[in-house]
Amino acid sequence: MSNKTDKPWEYGDETKAVHAGSQPDPVTGARNTPIYQTTSYVFDDVEHAADLFNLQTFGFIYSRLTNPTVAVLEERMASLENGRASVCAASGHAAQFLTFFSLLEPGDHFIASRNLYGGSITQFGVSFKRLGWNCTFVDPTDPENFRNAVTPKTKAIFIEVLANPGGIVLDLEAISAVAQDVHVPLIVDNTLATPYLLQPMSWGADLVVHSTTKFLSGHGTSLGGVLIESGKFDWAADDKFPTMTQPDPAYHGLTFYETFGDFGFTMKARAVGLRDFGPSMSPANAFYTITAIESLPARMDRHVKNAIAVAEFLETHPKIKRVSYAGLKSSPYNDLANKYMPKGAGAVFSCELVGGYDAGVKLVEGVNLFSHLANVGDTRSLILHPASTTHRQLTDEQRDAAGAGANVIRLSIGQETAEDLIHDLDVGLSKV
Amino acid sequence: MSDALIYSDDSIRKILRSVKTIALVGASPKWVRPSSFVMKYLQGKGYRVIPVNPGHAGKEILGEMVYASLADIPHPFDMVDVFRSSEAAASVVDEVLALPASQRGKVIWMQLTVRNDEAATKAEQAGLAVIMDRCPKIEFGRLFGELGWSGVNSGIISSKRRKLGA
């Protein structure tokens, strides 16, 4: 008698966006995911409590660690990214903190693309340094730059494949091959692409992080972050990852990789990282995000369609020097975008004005429909002048390297009527 | 390594619903060891788990007497859970097949990372069901609604009311 069978039915991404993780409630049959707005959960008896605290059984203790509503979002994200498991956090930055806390010892090193969200550059380059975690930033357009920056202490490579806000697309497959060669996990911040447009794990990424605040929650309602693991990285192949393979003094000598196998990394991030630092996602934010993800495929299709229309308009405007959108045929990254993101290169891009810093200020203040604020991935169209806001803390060199120079405007194209967005920018540009 | 192992959810559900007594080969008395996690969890789900470990024979683990070998267990069991290396799994299968059919159960389950295709074929030819490179604790949690509580992708998509417990 054999239990081997043909492969089970594979559900599509649109189905997963609606269903994954949210089977109806066992007691009430509630079809939609309830908001479990509770801090804590009763134990059956002392033995049950001990089993939960020792991680010997699955269950709930306290919402800093696990919550049934947040768990639905976690499973849904793990499913959409084709990963094994995930853990949510209070924000994208918190998810990055949990990731590196679970990977690094003081004195360790990682390599990051220099084309990242400005907040990540500051987090990695300044605040992480104070914890003894050292980051080297490299030009990511040549994958060999990552290999050349490897030191004996290097424990990870971190990239945004679709980078914020430079409009560039990295050669994910080639960078993934370098990470595999030097045996460190490749971490991809997939916020701007979302798993609907790009699934980095299909190209060899080991860990994916998101700010769920952006397209996933999608309506500008809810902060959140998530870390997803593929389950495929072999933490025990060498002695580089003692946080995973050695008994953990923060958990009575439990060895996370041996005990939890292919979901050991997110268990560690949860059981130690969330427990001891506390940046958990609230159940209400998880609920809004779960609801929003159900329409993610439809929203992303429209975001992409509008973004192409707006980018094509700007490309021909006399007051615009350059549009950096990988979805444009004129972009040097268009081939990579078509390879990795055939459904579209997202809806966040930047453009350079013919004028300088002042022209940028005039445009953000001269539009009416676009909201001037520091977020991306909203139903509403958003506009930002990075040099005077998100990238303010950086030096001119850092700003230029990150694609956020003085004349750069960042746009996040929303769900409105495309002609209205074009009209609004046209009026704004007339004031420049 | 040969082809990826694929077991249908239904076949694993059937095993977890039908077995009651499990002989756990490679049981450890240390509570932080994975075998201890699995034994305690399965006990909590109503299974009787009999630990097998020659180094600890005659002592107790989690309230159960430890036996030196499968042949020493004085009563029948339904399944053998193998916490040994892939190579050592072959001798565990031989031990099972040497037992009378009424004693040895119907299932040999090899833990995560444990896989021995040759031994599995031998056991299957003798009429036993074989699961390899899986963990019964994780599979129980996955199929009966608990694994997702820890953010793990159960792979289950369904609009039927979730059922807890086998």
Structural domains of chain A, ranges and CATH numbers in brackets: 13-292 (3.40.640.10), 296-430 (3.90.1150.10)
Q: Which of A7-16, A206-215, A300-309, B73-82 is least confident?
A: A7-16
Residue A301 confidence (pLDDT) above 50: yes
Reduced to 3 states, what is the DSSP secondary structure of residue B147? helix
Cβ–Cβ of B141/A11 closer than 8 Å?
no
All residues of chain A having their beta carbon less than 8 Å from the beta carbon of residue B161 are: 23-26, 29
Residues of the domain holding B47: 9-136
Reduced to 3 states, what is the DSSP secondary structure of residue B72? helix
CA separation for the pair A399, B151 (Å, rounded): 37
Q: State the amino acid at position A72 in one-letter form.
A: V
Task: Answer whether A269's CB lies under 8 Å from B152's CB.
Answer: no
* Residue whose entry in the numeric block shows the structure tokens 């998509």: B157
Question: Nearest CA of chain B to the CA of A269: how many Å?
Answer: 11
Cβ–Cβ of B162/A75 closer than 8 Å?
no
Of A11, A66, A252, the CB nearest to B32: A252
Q: What is the ipTM of this complex?
A: 0.89
Question: Nearest CA of chain B to the CA of A221: how many Å?
Answer: 23
Cβ–Cβ of A25/B160 closer than 8 Å?
no
Task: Answer whether A224's CB lies under 8 Å from A170's CB.
Answer: no
Question: Nearest CA of chain A to the CA of B34: how many Å?
Answer: 5
Question: Nearest CA of chain B to the CA of A391: how many Å?
Answer: 34
Task: Identify whether B154 is part of a domain.
Answer: no
Task: Please give the helix or strand (H or E) that residue B64 lies within, else none.
Answer: strand B64-65
Cβ–Cβ of A26/B163 closer than 8 Å?
yes
Bond prior to A140 in cis (omega within 30° of 0): no
Task: Identify whether B149 is part of a domain.
Answer: no
Residue A117 confidence (pLDDT) above 50: yes
All residues of chain A having their beta carbon less than 8 Å from the beta carbon of residue B36 are: 56
Cβ–Cβ of B5/A4 closer than 8 Å?
yes
Q: Which of A53-57, A351-355, A380-384, B46-50 is least confident?
A: A53-57
Could you tell me the two tokens for A256?
């996370």
Cβ-based neighbours of B10, under 8 Å, separated by 6 or more = none
pTM of the model: 0.94
Tens digit of each residue's pLDDT (9 = 90 or more) over A57-97: 999 999 999 999 999 999 999 999 999 999 999 999 999 99
CA separation for the pair A265, A86 (Å, rounded): 9
Cβ-based neighbours of A322, under 8 Å, separated by 6 or more = A351, A352
Q: What is the pLDDT of residue B118?
A: 97
Of B127, B151, B156, the CB nearest to A23: B156
- pLDDT band per the 50, 70, 90 thresholds, residue A401: confident
Could you tell me the two tokens for A319?
């007051």
In chain A, what percentage of residues exceed pLDDT 90?
Answer: 86
Question: Nearest CA of chain A to the CA of B74: how many Å?
Answer: 27
Q: How far does CA A306 lie from the centroid of its chain?
A: 22
Task: Identify whether B124 is part of a domain.
Answer: yes
Nearest-CA residue of chain B relative to A88? B151
Task: Identify whether B48 is part of a domain.
Answer: yes
- pLDDT band per the 50, 70, 90 thresholds, residue A25: confident
Could you tell me the two tokens for A173?
């497959």
Tens digit of each residue's pLDDT (9 = 90 or more) over A240-279: 999 999 999 988 889 999 889 999 999 999 999 999 999 9
CA separation for the pair B17, B144 (Å, rounded): 11
Q: Of A166, A4, A23, nearest to B163 (Cα)?
A: A23
Q: What is the pLDDT of residue B79?
A: 98
Task: Answer whether A24's CB lies under 8 Å from B161's CB.
Answer: yes
CB atoms within 10 A of CB A43: 16
Cβ–Cβ of B153/A84 closer than 8 Å?
yes
Q: State the amino acid at position A380 in one-letter form.
A: R
Of B34, B130, B149, the CB nearest to A66: B149
Q: What is the pLDDT of residue B1?
A: 47
Q: State the amino acid at position B48 in one-letter form.
A: R
- pLDDT band per the 50, 70, 90 thresholds, residue A188: very high
Residue A1 confidence (pLDDT) above 70: no
CA separation for the pair A125, A119 (Å, rounded): 10
- pLDDT band per the 50, 70, 90 thresholds, residue A4: low
Residue A343 confidence (pLDDT) above 60: yes
Q: What is the pLDDT of residue A5?
A: 52
Cβ–Cβ of B37/A56 closer than 8 Å?
yes
Task: Identify whether B97 is part of a domain.
Answer: yes
Total structural domains within chain B: 1
- pLDDT band per the 50, 70, 90 thresholds, residue A167: confident
Average pLDDT over residues A368-379: 95
CATH number at residue B60: 3.40.50.720
Cβ-based neighbours of B108, under 8 Å, separated by 6 or more = B79, B80, B82, B92, B93, B96, B120, B123, B128, B129, B130, B131
Cβ–Cβ of B151/A259 closer than 8 Å?
no
Check the CA dihedral A29-A32-A37-A43 and report its sign: positive
CB-facing half-sphere around the CA of A324: CA atoms within 13 A: 23
Residue A321 confidence (pLDDT) above 70: yes
Task: Identify whether B155 is part of a domain.
Answer: no
Task: Identify whether B166 is part of a domain.
Answer: no
Q: Of A194, A94, A121, A92, nearest to A403 (Cα)?
A: A121
- pLDDT band per the 50, 70, 90 thresholds, residue A15: very high
Residue A41 confidence (pLDDT) above 60: yes
Q: Of A429, A213, A386, A218, nearest to A303 (Cα)?
A: A218
What are the angstrom distances between the C-alpha of B101 and each of A3, B12, B24, B71, B127? 20, 22, 18, 12, 10
Q: What is the pLDDT of residue A6?
A: 61
Cβ–Cβ of B161/A270 closer than 8 Å?
no
Of B127, B128, B164, the CB nearest to A26: B164
Of A7, A55, A86, the CB nearest to B151: A86
Average pLDDT of chain A is 94
Cβ-based neighbours of A116, under 8 Å, separated by 6 or more = A124, A158, A159, A160, A163, A164, A189, A402
Cβ–Cβ of A6/B6 closer than 8 Å?
yes
Of B124, B150, B154, the CB nearest to A2: B124
Enumerate the β-bridge partners of residue B7: A4
Q: What is the pLDDT of residue A69?
A: 98
Average pLDDT over residues A292-314: 98
Residue A3 confidence (pLDDT) above 60: no
Q: What is the pLDDT of residue B78?
A: 97
Reduced to 3 states, what is the DSSP secondary structure of residue B141? helix
Could you tell me the two tokens for B53?
């470990």
CA separation for the pair A68, A21 (Å, rounded): 10
* Residue whose entry in the numeric block shows the structure tokens 């002048």: A385
Q: What is the pLDDT of residue B117?
A: 97
Of B12, B15, B32, the CB nearest to A254: B32
Q: Of A269, A255, A250, A45, nearest to B31 (Cα)?
A: A255
Average pLDDT over residues B138-159: 93
Tens digit of each residue's pLDDT (9 = 90 or more) over B19-74: 999 999 999 999 989 999 999 999 999 999 999 999 999 999 999 999 999 999 99
Cβ–Cβ of B151/A258 closer than 8 Å?
no
Task: Identify whether B55 is part of a domain.
Answer: yes
